[in-house]
Amino acid sequence: MSVYKVIELVGTSEKSWEDAAQQAVAKARSSLRELRIVEVNKLDIKLDDQGNIAAYRARLNVSFKYDS
């Protein structure tokens, strides 16, 4: 029997939503063990003062095996 924990992460990128998600997963992979599922919950865009795209953001739920 296994138990998994789910956390929320927000990745950002100046390139794309896909890159933002990849940035978040890469960071999670570097500090968490046994990642299982990543679910994209929300995509949004941060705008600068002139209304131009400053960053793409991807909000993710990441699950990993929980060791107690």
* CATH at 34: 3.30.1660.10
Which of 31, 12, 32 lies closest to 22, judged by CA? 12
Compute the distance between CA of residue 36 and CA of residue 44 in angstroms, rounded to an integer: 24
Domain count, the chain: 1
The 10s digit of each residue's pLDDT in 5-42 is 999 999 999 999 999 999 999 999 999 988 989 999 99
Question: Residue 27 sits in which domain range?
Answer: 4-65
DSSP SS3 for 24: helix
Compute the distance between CA of residue 6 and CA of residue 21 in angstroms, rounded to an integer: 16
pLDDT tier at 68, thresholds 50, 70, 90:
low
pTM: 0.84
pLDDT at 59 over 90: yes
The 10s digit of each residue's pLDDT in 34-50 is 898 999 999 999 999 99
Task: Say if CB 55 and CB 13 are below 8 A apart.
Answer: yes
